[in-house]
Homo-oligomer: A and B are copies of this chain.
Amino acid sequence: MSVTIKDVAKAAGVSVASVSRALNGHDNVTRDTCERIMQAAQQLHYMPNGAARSLITRRTQTIGALLPDLHGAFFSELIRGIDRAARARGLHLLVSSSHDNADEAAATLRAMRGRVDGLLVMSPHASPGFLSDNLPPELPTVLMSTGGDDDHHARLTVDNHGGAWAMTRHLIDGGYQRIAFVCGPEHNIDAAERLRGYRDAMGKLADAPGCCVLSGDFSEQAGYDAGHQLLGMDPRPQAVFAANDMMALGVLAACNEAGMSVPEDMALAGFDDIPMARYMTPSLSTVRIHIADFGERALARLVETIDQADDKPTTEEVIPTELVVRTSCGVPANNVLPLDAGAAHAAADHAFEDRGQP
């Protein structure tokens, strides 16, 4: 069996209590014994058992993150932010992806009890009651991009509505009239808010002049399909606003395939500003979310909640978005009208923030 604190105590000729004190850096232990203990521990390759320790300290130094998925540029960035903030505080990260499977997500959530000090939950798929049924009570939790009327927990959301509104406005100001929108998944709260932003900017009504809404699911394939549909329409839309960048990529592929050029024949915009957006040709106009900041902020918020643990202001915090105008929308950033002058800017935002590995 593996070596425990008792073995160290025996080897150093002291009691387990002293070993524990020495190893945790308490001051009430002699220099001499302390050294003897350290030496014994090192020699035996002793490593304390985390489960036993956190059983009694009621601290795990770990936070759990339940995300809908772990894959893709968005989550990579999100995890980066969460990890960065966690590391800064010496916390570990227990990640989990639910992949729309509610039962599995529930099981995961229950398994978290006793293993984490707090929970970060992103569950954009509306599912009333799910959280209140399955969140361990008494466990500090921060909800990210999550719907529902749960008001016991702090909540962070992205300004999807504002971002979509701004982009739509930008396209309108650029002179486009028939602007199509490609939706995200049906019951996704982010997707719904983006659609609402588009609609509000277009003039509230679902059948406002120029309004045209296609379904999608945030996947590139869905964008590609939507692109095909768009190209076959009779009064063809002049611009397409996809609810995320991956779908914009799909639309672009469909356009290229059909020999239509973007933005000349069809303007294009996305949402998220994933790293790829600025490398595409044409570079993609999009709505930037500071995704890593989002994650970082959420973790910071969670830690606050853990530290107070009593009074919960349960406020909602909104992460702002930012319009990023590149070439794909055919409209210069300063909102001038001409549709053909959009090829020269966006060369400067070539920030080297990425570090590929390997």
Residues in B with CB closer than 8 Å to A71 are 76-77, 79-80, 83, 354-355, 357
Closest 10 CB pairs of A and B: A246-B356, A49-B114, A76-B76, A50-B114, A281-B281, A47-B113, A71-B80, A221-B352, A50-B115, A51-B114
Can you add 16 more A-B contacts, CB < 8 Å, to A2-B138, A71-B77? A45-B136, A49-B114, A50-B111, A50-B113, A50-B115, A62-B94, A70-B79, A71-B355, A72-B76, A74-B356, A79-B95, A83-B97, A87-B99, A92-B108, A218-B356, A218-B358
Number of copies of chain A assembled together = 2
Interface residue A240 (Cβ < 8 Å from any Cβ of B): no
Residues in B with CB closer than 8 Å to A138 are 2
Q: Which of A47, A224, A357 has the most CB of B within 10 A?
A: A357
CA distance A74 to B354 in the complex (A): 12
Interface residue A249 (Cβ < 8 Å from any Cβ of B): yes
Residues in B with CB closer than 8 Å to A115 are 50-51, 60, 62, 92, 115
Of residues 253 through 299 on chain A, the ones whose CB sits less than 8 Å from some CB of chain B are: 253, 271-272, 274-276, 279-281
CB distance from A191 to the nearest CB of B (A): 7
Number of A interface residues in the complex (CB < 8 A): 81
CB distance from A329 to the nearest CB of B (A): 18
Interface residue A159 (Cβ < 8 Å from any Cβ of B): no
B124 & A358 in contact (Cβ 8 Å cutoff): yes
CA distance A126 to B70 in the complex (A): 28
A356 & B52 in contact (Cβ 8 Å cutoff): no
Scan A52-74; emit 1 where CB is below 8 A from any B CB, else 0: 11110000111000001111111
Q: Which of A61, A112, A113 has the most CB of B within 10 A?
A: A113
Q: Which of A50, A53, A275 has the most CB of B within 10 A?
A: A50
Using known A-B contacts A350-B253, A355-B246, determine if residue A114 contacts B276 with beta carbons closer than 8 Å. no
Residues in B with CB closer than 8 Å to A114 are 48-53
One of B111, B280, B356 near A274 (C-beta < 8 A):
B356
A275 closest partner in B (C-beta): B276
Of residues 128 through 182 on chain A, the ones whose CB sits less than 8 Å from some CB of chain B are: 136-138, 145
